[in-house]
Amino acid sequence: MRKMTLDQWEKKYVAGEIRRFDQKYTMFARPQWDDKIKELLRWVTERSPSKPKAGYTLQDQALRIASRTGTQMHLFEADRPNPSAVARDLAKVLTPERMARNIMVSQPPADEKLEVTDPVKLTHDIKNAAIYFGADMVGICELDRRWVYSHSYGLGDGEYNPQEMPKEFQYAIVMGYHEEYEMLRYFPTYIADAETSLGYSKMAITNAYIAKFIKMLGHKAMSCSTNDVAVTIPMAMQVGLGDIGRHGMLIAPRYGAGIRLSKVLTSLLLIPDQPIDFGVTEFCATCKVCAERCPSQAIWHGERTAEPRNESNAPGGLKWPVDAEKCIGQWARQGKPCTICISICPFTKPDTSFHRLVRWFVDNMRWADSFFVKMDKLLGYEKPRDPADFWDRWEPQPSKGPRVKIRKRSAVNSEL
Ligand code: SF4
Ligand code: SF4
């Protein structure tokens, strides 16, 4: 792995003019206003119920929906340029004066502010706080305003407004949340999606904590999930969490594509990290496993390009543009988000010494990528686990603390 300067990263990733993307055109906003996408999603509500199989039972679906509970927390964030109606109402009730009188949340005086005398130490401490609050990875960059959405589109209420980022928000803390490989291998069922959903719930809580922590230091902080306020993946690349893969998601050196992302924007003076290069671009050029296995053929088989495939692609970044319309059509047919490309990506593996060694070879012997792709297929990593296993994964042991893992019953292939 090598660190890159931002200029080197710019030459690698940016191939055209980056016009600020409009949140209205993200695929999670379009179902609210775009008849074409509404028609695609009609399938979800109108199909007739069939007998549920393992991985799609009511219990499996309940697991997935419960895992997603925390994601709505972002609606309560009041510090964005365009806060939701819920956040505006809450701000009227939870005034600083009322909060100051509440002994459970008694706060430092409003004018108390941490003076930043040692940004290196402060950066180190902020990263430690992020890990303590639940992030698995964290990096810092100066806020690059090209990634800030030109307009916000309320995913809950459809409010649509131009979005200008106040100038005091100069830095971004970008965090990653690991998804457990063994859970992702239950793809494409509700169970695998529970793991992705749980990642979004975890980020809502960690983000709220880190934003509150910074505010208590007397500085500005704005909590943002993956899909709001700004495009996250280029920021995650700039802070050195990983690199973009053919499937359009971030690939992290330890966790592959099994990583969810959030960011907190802040006025706090921090020291930026650097982008990294560990062989993803070359490997994806050879691999194409996700493009071959994508059930809707949404993933680009060709060379990287800065040209969008439809209005949900942000132009300018040199990448393999994913056709989000085809992707969401597949989600509609399955009645849930699809996790196949995340799960079968050869970079998405447990962080064992064996896989660390393979990653080292991928990084340092890039000419041998086609061999590593073949080996990944031969070892059967593309095959899913039997979803019937999930509910037997742990044996509850109340007297011994949490839970003890029991032997896996019918894994499709052994974990290396
Ligand atoms: S499956 Fe292969 S081509 Fe697709 S993102 Fe992963 S490494 Fe790249
Ligand atoms: S989520 Fe599923 S449908 Fe969408 S790009 Fe990935 S594999 Fe294809």
Residue type, 63: L
Report the nearest-CA residue for atom 7 of ligand 1: 284
In a domain? residue 291 = yes
Where in 204-324 does DSSP place strands (E)? 221-224, 243-244, 250-251, 259-266, 276-277
Percent of the chain with pLDDT over 90: 51
Digit-coded pLDDT (tens) for 220-240:
999 998 888 999 999 999 999
Cβ atoms of 359 and 263 within 8 Å: the answer is: no
Is the pLDDT at 402 greater than 70? The verdict is: no
How confident is the model at residue 234, as a pLDDT?
Answer: 96
Is the pLDDT at 343 greater than 80? The verdict is: yes
Is the pLDDT at 399 greater than 80? The verdict is: no
How many angstroms is it from 225 CA to the middle of ligand 1? 24
Is the pLDDT at 412 greater than 70? The verdict is: no
Digit-coded pLDDT (tens) for 175-220:
999 999 999 999 889 999 999 999 999 999 999 999 999 998 999 9
Residue among 27, 197, 292, 296 whose CB has most ligand 2 atoms within 8 A, to mutate: 296
DSSP state, residue 274 = -
In a domain? residue 389 = no
Which residues in 368-397 are b (16+ Cβ under 10 Å) and which e? ebeebbeebeeeebbebbbbebbeeeeeee
In a domain? residue 45 = yes
Among 248-257, 326-335, 402-411, whose mean pLDDT is lowest?
A: 402-411
Q: What is the rounded (10 degree) CA torsion for 154, 156, 159, 164? A: -20
Confirm or reject: Cβ of 155 under 6 Å from ligand 2.
Answer: no
Report the nearest-CA residue for atom 3 of ligand 2: 327
How confident is the model at residue 48, as a pLDDT?
Answer: 58
Which of 41-50, 106-115, 332-341, 402-411 reaches the highest mean pLDDT? 332-341
Report the length, in residues, of the chain.
416
Confirm or reject: Cβ of 299 under 6 Å from ligand 2.
Answer: yes
Confirm or reject: Cβ of 300 under 6 Å from ligand 1.
Answer: no
Q: Which residues pair with 172 in a beta bridge?
A: 141, 265
In a domain? residue 387 = no
Digit-coded pLDDT (tens) for 350-392:
888 888 888 888 888 888 778 788 888 888 777 888 888 888 8
Confirm or reject: Cβ of 245 under 6 Å from ligand 1.
Answer: yes
Residue type, 78: A
Is the pLDDT at 278 greater than 70? The verdict is: yes
Is the pLDDT at 405 greater than 80? The verdict is: no
Q: Tell me the mean pLDDT in the region 268-279.
A: 96
Q: Which atom of ligand 2 is least distant from the CA of 248?
A: 5
Confirm or reject: Cβ of 247 under 6 Å from ligand 1.
Answer: yes
Q: What angle, rounded to 10 degrees, do the helices at 353-364 and 369-378 form? A: 150
In a domain? residue 416 = no
Q: Which atom of ligand 1 is least distant from the CA of 348?
A: 6
Q: Tell me the mean pLDDT in the region 304-310.
A: 89
CA distance 125 to 129: 6
> Which ligand is in closest contact with the Cα of 334?
2
Q: Which residues pair with 222 in a beta bridge?
A: 265
Position with higher pLDDT, 287 vs 44: 287
Among 43-47, 250-254, 261-265, whose mean pLDDT is lowest?
A: 43-47
How many angstroms is it from 280 CA to the middle of ligand 1? 8
Residue among 27, 28, 189, 247 whose CB has most ligand 2 atoms within 8 A, to mutate: 247
- Reduced to 3 states (helix: H, G, I; strand: E, B; else coil), residue 174 is strand
CA distance 415 to 410: 12
CA distance 156 to 73: 11
Report the nearest-CA residue for atom 2 of ligand 2: 338
Q: Tell me the mean pLDDT in the region 319-324.
A: 94
CA distance 148 to 19: 10
Position with higher pLDDT, 337 vs 22: 22
**Domain span including residue 315:** 2-382
How many angstroms is it from 295 CA to the middle of ligand 2? 7
How many angstroms is it from 358 CA to the middle of ligand 2? 25
> Which ligand is in closest contact with the Cα of 349?
1
Indicate the pLDDT class of residue 411, thresholds 50, 70 and 90. very low
Residue among 340, 342, 382 whose CB has most ligand 2 atoms within 8 A, to mutate: 340
Give the total number of structural domains in the chain.
1
In a domain? residue 121 = yes
How many angstroms is it from 15 CA to the middle of ligand 2? 25
Bond before 81 cis per omega within 30 degrees: no
Confirm or reject: Cβ of 246 under 6 Å from ligand 1.
Answer: yes
Digit-coded pLDDT (tens) for 1-57:
999 999 999 999 998 888 999 999 998 889 889 988 888 887 766 665 566 788 888
